[in-house]
Every structure is written in C-alpha cells, then in structure tokens.
Structure 1
Amino acid sequence: MDLAVVRDDMVDSLEHESKGCVHSPNVSQAMRTVPREVFVDDERGAYADRPFERFGTRVLSPSTAARMVEALDPTEGDDVLVVGVGVGYTAAVVAELVGEANVHAIDIARRLVLDARSNLSKAGYGGVLVDRRDGADGLPEYAPFDRILLEAAAIEPPRALVRQLADDGRMVMPLGAGEQSLVTVEPSGDVDDRLGGVAFQPMLLEGEQADTPERNRTRREDRERARRSAESRTGWEQEWIDWDSY
C-alpha cells in the first residue's frame, strides 16, 4: 500500500464540497506531507476520517484537525502554542506550516508528552518543543504567541491563555460543555467567530489525567465532597454559627 497515495486521497476527500474542511493550498500541502500513520500506529486505518483512542485521549479525525488548523490560519514564522498536544498529529501539521522550531506544545498527561515527542521525532518534526504542563496555565515563559490552538473543551476561554496571545494573535478552541462550538478568540478574550459544532473532551485539571495513580481523586471531586459535607452538618456543627452570641 502506497501511503502517499492514500494520504492524497484523504486530503482530496477533505477538499471535496461534501466535506469542505480544507480550503487553503498551504493546509492541503501540509496534510499531504505529514505521515499520519506514525501518530495513530495503524497504517490501514490511519487515513480513514474517524477519531482514534490512544492512552486515554482521543486522536482527532482528519476532518476535525483540518477544521482547527484552517481556523487557526497560521503563517510561516508564527509562534504557535498547541494545548493538549495528544499524540502530536495536529502539532506536526502546524509545524509544516510555520516551521518546527516555532511550535510549542503541552499536555497534562506525562505518557502523552512522551508519546508525542517520540511520534514527532519519527515523523521528522523533532524540533517541536513538547512539555508537560497544565493546559490552563499555558507556557508563559515562551509567550506571546501569534496563535494558540486548544484541543480540549472549556466553558470560557482560559484567562492565562488569552494573556499569552500576541496583540494581533488568535486562539482557536472548542467552547461549551454539553453543546460545543469551534470558535476563534481575540486577544481581548472575546469570541470572534463561531465555526460550527464539535465534540471534544473537556480540559483536564491536575489529577484528572488518565495516567494519574488515583484517577478518582480529582480537584473537582474533592471540592464537591467538601461542599456536600458542609451542607449535611447539623446546626451545632456549622462553623459559621457563633454560638457564644446566643
């Protein structure tokens, strides 16, 4: 099987009006160049337009990756931050557009960071910096960024990421909880464009990633337990009652 031919067929289908995910010649060429099979470890299914599961994360389908990169609209020389790098495929496509030394990527899961580094190196994009960080914190020491790509859903643009945008920068992210939209975000934090529905996993907090030893002990769950405990106390147990005044 000639994978280059299959890759071309994949991009041709994404350019076809029935999908219309790829519009620009630059994105088309980048996706024809990046060897997707390196990132999904499945030559037979690598170029099918469907997502994969790997190490507890979802590998974006080619059409979803294309929509995000088209919305990001990076140009050569742009400094780009990819948040939630996963297996590294989208970061590789961006690196093909702006240069690998201009792409920085982070993920909260250590196993995915190691996997992304290995995949990017094998695919020829070893110059992409991949670090383990909490996505909501971004990568402030390398800011500002001309473009930020968030590959996880949030109910509002993360403030730290907005602060790390250049004055004329742009962030692309899935916005929402139950119903999500792919949006572009301005440096002011305002949503600029809504580009249709998507379905992404939510951004994880420290302790929620799949490789955490105690997966069920998350910050959200701890806060919820504390709230329920406070609400279930009888009157004499409530700390906010000043019994000395009675």
Structure 2
Amino acid sequence: MDPAVLREDMVDSLQYEAKGVVRSDEVGLAMRDVPRHEFLGDDRSAYADRAFERHGTTVLAPSTAARLLEALALREDDNVLVVGAGIGYTTGVAAEIVGAANVHAIDITRRLVYEARRNLSSAGYGEVLVDRRNGMDGLPEYAPYDRILLEAAAIEPPRALVTQLADDGRLVMPLGAGSQSLVSVGPTGSVEERHGPVLFKPMLVEGEQADTVERNRTVREDREHAERGSSRRNGWEHEWLDWDERLQGTR
C-alpha cells in the first residue's frame, strides 16, 4: 500500500479514535508529511501504533511521539533541541513544523547519531544538526532554545537543559523514576504543566550506551557496589583462625 495512505490512516486513528492524542493542526499535518518508513525501513509496520527496539533504544510508538510533540507546542521558527534523538523520527516531525535548520538533536550513542543523520537526510531533513553529546549537558553552543524535548526519564529537570531555555522557553520531559509524568518545565526549573503518566527508560550517562565495547562502571553502579560491600567482610576482616588448635584437632 502507498505509504502516504498509511500515514493518513495512522494520523486519522490518532486524531479521531479513542486515542485522541493528535489535537493540533501543526502536529497532525506534520505527521501526515513526515515519511516514517524512512526511519524504520518498513512501509507497513512503520505506521503501526506500537514501539520498536532498535540498536538498544526504544523507537516510540506514533501515539507517544504525538503526545510529546503536542506538549512541546512548537511554533514556526522556534529554535529546538531534541535530547535523545534515537533514530530521529520525532526530530523529523519537529523539523517539519519549525524548519530543519532550526532543529538540533543529540544522542549519547554514536551509532544512533549516525543512523539519525542518515534517516533525517533520507526523509528530507538533512539540515538538522545531529551530534553525539551527553544529554545532561545539552548543546550550549546553539542556546538559547525556545523548546527542548528530552526523550528519556530523569528524577529532576537537568540543570544544564533548564539554563539553555529562552526566557519564555519550555522543556518537555518524562519526570520521575518508578512513577513518571510527562511535564512541561519553565526557565526557572519548575514544573508548569503535567500531561499525564508515561513510561520511559532513564537517561543514559557515559558508559551505559548499548554500543559501548567495554563498559566502565557508572556512578550509580559504584554507589550500589559500595552499599553491597559495606555489609560484606573482606578477607582481612574475618576472625583469625587458631591454626594450632585446628591442626591438633586433626591428629
């Protein structure tokens, strides 16, 4: 079937059926125009409303991507940063709305950076700048940003991302650990709006990438290792054995 027809059906279902996650003309028109199959390489499954696993990352279902984009409330010519670009689809929809030259995207996994660049170029958004960076640091060279989208969960808004917001900027992110909410954060770092429950993987730090050849322990793992070690005796802490008594008992 023609991918354009599949896209129309996909967006119709996101607008008019029980989901109702596409509410604005901007997001609806952009999702009808962006060729999602260029990001997934499969005409039919690309337009199914389900998530995929690819290169160690989750490719968001179209309904989830729509929720993020609606919360972001993009305006024409906004300067946008996407943190956790993955394969690049959400970035492509943002580029369709605000213009590819106004969108910057970063990912901590080098393989995904290369893939996002290829996919965006194939889809017609080659002007998007995609770089390998630690998401916690953002991309200060091109700040301030009118909108920042974080496609990974954190227990609090990353300070660097908040400082890179424009005076009337907005950071959209999944907030929380076990229980998460999609929230909009303002330039002061406070939550300004909640958009319902979500479930995202936590933001990665150096050493946690899926394509790391030899992974070093992360700060989180160091802390857990230390906690386990505090309740376990090392060899020199064990009680001394009376070897003379032991030997006498074997005679």
Number of equivalences: 236
Is the CA contact 1:10–1:47 (under 8 Å) kept in the aligned structure 2?
A: yes
Is the CA contact 2:6–2:44 (under 8 Å) kept in the aligned structure 1?
A: no
CA offsets 1:40-93 (integer angstroms, 9 cap, x no match): 122121100000110000000000000100110111110000000000000000
CA displacement at 1:214 relative to structure 2: 2.4
Over aligned residue pairs, what C-alpha RMSD do you find? Answer: 1.6
Q: Aligned pair 1:97/2:101, yes or no?
A: no
Q: What's the counterpart of residue 133 of structure 1?
A: 133
Return the alpha-carbon distance in structure 1 between the equivalents of residues 231 and 107 of structure 2.
36
Q: What's the counterpart of residue 241 of structure 1?
A: none
TM-score (norm 2): 0.90
Runs of 4+ in 1 over 4 A off after TM superposition: 230-234
Gaps of 5+ in 1: 238-246
The one-letter amino acid paired with 2:9 is D
Q: Aligned pair 1:12/2:16, yes or no?
A: no
Return the alpha-carbon distance in structure 2 between the equivalents of residues 232 and 140 of structure 1.
44
Q: What's the counterpart of residue 164 of structure 1?
A: 164
CA offsets 1:102-155 (integer angstroms, 9 cap, x no match): 000000000000000000000000000000000011001111100000000001
CA displacement at 1:193 relative to structure 2: 1.0
Q: Percent identity?
A: 71
Q: What's the counterpart of residue 201 of structure 2?
A: 201
Is the CA contact 1:206–1:219 (under 8 Å) kept in the aligned structure 2?
A: no
- Whose radius of gyration is greater, 1 or 2? 2
Is the CA contact 1:40–1:52 (under 8 Å) kept in the aligned structure 2?
A: no
Q: For structure 1, which segment, 2-11 or 225-234, has the greater mean C-alpha deviation from structure 2 after superposition?
A: 225-234
Gaps of 5+ in 2: 238-251
CA displacement at 1:230 relative to structure 2: 5.1
Return the alpha-carbon distance in structure 1 between the equivalents of residues 198 and 21 of structure 2.
13
Alignment of 1:72-83 (within 5 A): 72-83=72-83
Is the CA contact 1:207–1:219 (under 8 Å) kept in the aligned structure 2?
A: no
Return the alpha-carbon distance in structure 1 between the equivalents of residues 19 and 226 of structure 2.
47
Is the CA contact 1:153–1:202 (under 8 Å) kept in the aligned structure 2?
A: yes
Return the alpha-carbon distance in structure 1 between the equivalents of residues 6 and 215 of structure 2.
39
Alignment of 1:206-217 (within 5 A): 206-215=206-215, 217=217
Return the alpha-carbon distance in structure 2 between the equivalents of residues 2 and 210 of structure 1.
34
TM-score (norm 1): 0.92
Return the alpha-carbon distance in structure 1 between the equivalents of residues 225 and 178 of structure 2.
23
